Amino acid sequence: MSFITIGNALGCTINSHRRFWDGSICKNAETWNCSAKQQFRTDYCQQGDPRCYHIHIFEEANPYCLIDDLGIGWLLEPHPDALNDQILLFWGKRFQEPRGVSEIATRPKDYVFGAYRVKNVEPQKINEFKTLWKIEPYQDGWTRFLQPYILTVYYKSIIGGVYLKEVNSVAVENMFEKAAEQARSPNPIWHESQKDPERFEYFHQHLHEWLEAGRENAAIIQQRMLKSYTKTTTVSLATRGAFEDLKNLDIKKIPVDATVKPAKNQPPPPYPLLEKDTIKEKIKRDYGKEVLDAISAVSITKNILIITGNPGVGKSSLAIELIDDPERKLIVSVGSTWRGREDLLGYVNPVSNEFEPTEFCKFLCRAEAAWKKNLRHTYLVIFEEFNLSQPEYWFADILVRSQYVETEEKLRTIDLGGKSIRGMPGSTGRVFISPAIRFVATINNDHTTLSLSPRVLDRASIVELTLEPRGTLEHAKLTQELEETQIMAIEELDALLKYKNAMFSLRAAESLKRCMDNMQLLEMASTWDALDVVLLQQVMTKVRLMVGDPANDSLIQSLEEWSESYGKFLRRCASLINSWSEALKDGRDVIQA
């Protein structure tokens, strides 16, 4: 399926139910926080109304899960069998008696409660506006865990909807293996059902086989979807006939003098930000169709595109690749001390009375000359670190004048001052803002930058870039060179540390690539050594942990669990995590640099 990676398992969040989802309503539901809204618990659960979607998930006789149409209808409406034979994990927030999920402002861990091998999904129409989807497992294809198992596997949202998540199938098998070790421990305490141990062991034994069956089924559905898409988007003259669309045409309704006339005040054709199909395909491949659609829309709606995202996600690289011609693009590095338009444009020399232009000003002059020669190619200006200084201080003139229609030449002209622009023969001390000029700005959101004002935001379009670790590795052409376990180690560490703005970035992936290409020179024994060094230097050095922050205690515990899984191969990272734990216990903050 185009929106689900073939071979992955799936997962979704459910409420943390008190009675192990046996069909009974929670007692004192108003005080028990299961993650459902307080109003829902008061209106339904507290009154004994079994409207909760999740109380039957692990019911002994007839287990099923209900999902609201808003959460999954986008997938099942056009493809009702899309989940058939897929492995579906259920997880929710960690809870404790007597109040359930903690309301402390920390990020509680997720528990995996169990899993389905999905047999079928059926819609249940509640009324004209509401539909629920009932997910049922195979009779021998569902299980609960011995205890709610702490979710350590990496997962990501699926483009198209936020309810379902993708889970790496190898990580799922490893998770079941660890849970099986717990089940083999002396005197394991299962839930009330005596069938749970047998059911779990059966699920565990057949998991790999079922994942492969799910892979095959997903591939079949994907092919069917592609064929369906082709049929609906391609007109076949063989089946419809060349004149099929003329059958119902009423010629009398067409005026004799009907001609196509342009609409009044119709805007001129835009000057595209995306000039080649190759860059469109690259954006779609790396960041998804939603980002491609957003950037394409900017070509029609705005002339200022602001690209935001975490450091190393590829904002600058994407901006630079929008146009190939180096003569028609300029990179401007914004300074933190910029306070006026002279920082961007230049100043009048008091001795010669000439305007001393910046490279940006010269670029405007070149774009103006091209426009006057009736050359209508896009000219692109890229502002790096756009919000390092307040844009209104230095960008106001450009911001205002670039909004006027192209026929208002005077309004689009800036008076620079001086008798002429130095180095520009025939100049008059003025510059025309060519309508073919487009602006792209990259911004970061941290303590070193300033917030953008509504004045700027109203005139710009913002597109956020996100790149998951696997996509980052694919961008660096590393997915074929790394073991699946190594990719999982990166994904899981990224999932833990992204809340500290310590992501596995494109720069980290490129560094890993260079290390792997020069392992003999660096005297590294394996790719694990290269990965260990890169994670240590370019990911973990960004982490800051403060004593007394409850969230850090949870993070350290999760990092220690990650270290137990991968520390044998990533010894430097494991040692650093251990030193962080010791520092916090001793009352010392963790600050790398």
- Percent of the chain past pLDDT 90, that is, above it, reads 37
Please state, in angstroms and rounded to a whole number, the distance separating the CA atoms of residues 3 and 379.
Answer: 35
Strand, coil or helix: what is 339? coil
- The reply to whether 381 and 482 lie within a common domain is no
Please state, in angstroms and rounded to a whole number, the distance separating the CA atoms of residues 164 and 70.
Answer: 11
- The reply to whether 82 and 94 lie within a common domain is yes
Whether residue 308 is contained in a domain is answered as yes
Sequence-separated (6 or more) residues with CB below 8 Å from residue 413: 401, 430, 431, 432, 433
For residue 330, give Cα distances in angstroms to 71, 245, 286, 513: 44, 49, 24, 29
- The reply to whether 196 and 97 lie within a common domain is yes
Residue 133 backbone phi and psi in degrees, to 5: -110, 125
- The reply to whether 306 and 444 lie within a common domain is yes
- The reply to whether 109 and 206 lie within a common domain is yes
Q: Are the beta carbons of 467 and 314 closer than 8 angstroms?
A: yes
pLDDT digits (tens, 9 = 90+) for 404-459: 988 899 999 999 998 999 988 888 889 999 999 999 999 976 656 667 888 888 88
- The reply to whether 170 and 300 lie within a common domain is no
pTM of the model: 0.69
| Confidence at residue 243, expressed as pLDDT on a 0 to 100 scale | 38
| Confidence at residue 137, expressed as pLDDT on a 0 to 100 scale | 97
- Mean pLDDT along residues 355-383: 94
- The reply to whether 142 and 73 lie within a common domain is yes
| Confidence at residue 237, expressed as pLDDT on a 0 to 100 scale | 38
- The reply to whether 426 and 491 lie within a common domain is no
- Mean pLDDT along residues 284-298: 87
Q: Which of 216-230, 385-399, 491-505, 556-570 has the lowest mean pLDDT?
A: 216-230
pLDDT band at residue 226 using 50, 70 and 90 as cut-offs = low
Strand, coil or helix: what is 361? helix
Residue 393 backbone phi and psi in degrees, to 5: -65, -40
Q: Are the beta carbons of 519 and 530 closer than 8 angstroms?
A: yes
Alpha helices in 26-156 (DSSP H): 38-40, 69-76
**Which of 401, 504, 394 has the alpha carbon at shortest distance from 441?**
394
Q: What is the residue whose two structure tokens read 């962080």?
A: 580
- Give the range with max mean pLDDT: 20-24, 136-140, 251-255: 136-140
Q: What is the CATH number of the domain that holds 337?
A: 3.40.50.300
Whether residue 234 is contained in a domain is answered as no
For residue 498, give Cα distances in angstroms to 49, 208, 310, 522: 40, 30, 9, 29
Strands 87-93 and 9-13: parallel
Full domain range(s) for residue 529? 469-591
Say which DSSP state 419 is in.
Answer: S
Please state, in angstroms and rounded to a whole number, the distance separating the CA atoms of residues 460 and 306.
Answer: 7
Average pLDDT, the chain: 84
Residue 296 backbone phi and psi in degrees, to 5: -60, -40
pLDDT digits (tens, 9 = 90+) for 510-534: 999 999 999 999 999 999 999 999 9
**Boundary (domain end) residue, out of 414, 441, 465:** 465
Name the token pair of 441.
């700005």
Task: Give me the number of domains the chain comprises.
Answer: 3
pLDDT digits (tens, 9 = 90+) for 141-161: 999 888 777 776 667 777 656
- The reply to whether 198 and 78 lie within a common domain is yes
| Confidence at residue 414, expressed as pLDDT on a 0 to 100 scale | 94
On the question of pLDDT at 164 being above 90, the answer is no
- The reply to whether 204 and 295 lie within a common domain is no
- The reply to whether 368 and 386 lie within a common domain is yes
Name the token pair of 168.
């790496």
Name the token pair of 540.
């973990």
Whether residue 41 is contained in a domain is answered as yes
Q: Are the beta carbons of 32 and 99 closer than 8 angstroms?
A: yes
Whether residue 371 is contained in a domain is answered as yes
Please state, in angstroms and rounded to a whole number, the distance separating the CA atoms of residues 286 and 74.
Answer: 23
| Confidence at residue 447, expressed as pLDDT on a 0 to 100 scale | 58
- Percent of the chain past pLDDT 70, that is, above it, reads 88
| Confidence at residue 483, expressed as pLDDT on a 0 to 100 scale | 92
- Mean pLDDT along residues 16-40: 81
Whether residue 515 is contained in a domain is answered as yes
On the question of pLDDT at 508 being above 90, the answer is yes
- The reply to whether 460 and 568 lie within a common domain is no
Please state, in angstroms and rounded to a whole number, the distance separating the CA atoms of residues 396 and 408.
Answer: 18
pLDDT band at residue 126 using 50, 70 and 90 as cut-offs = confident
| Residue 531 region by backbone torsions, left for phi larger than 0, else alpha for psi between -120 and 50, else beta | alpha
pLDDT band at residue 240 using 50, 70 and 90 as cut-offs = very low
pLDDT digits (tens, 9 = 90+) for 244-276: 443 444 434 434 444 444 444 545 456 888 888
Please state, in angstroms and rounded to a whole number, the distance separating the CA atoms of residues 421 and 344.
Answer: 15
Residue 24 backbone phi and psi in degrees, to 5: -100, 150
Whether residue 248 is contained in a domain is answered as no
Whether residue 49 is contained in a domain is answered as yes
Q: Could you tell me the end-to-end alpha-carbon distance of the chain, in angstroms, rounded to an integer?
A: 44
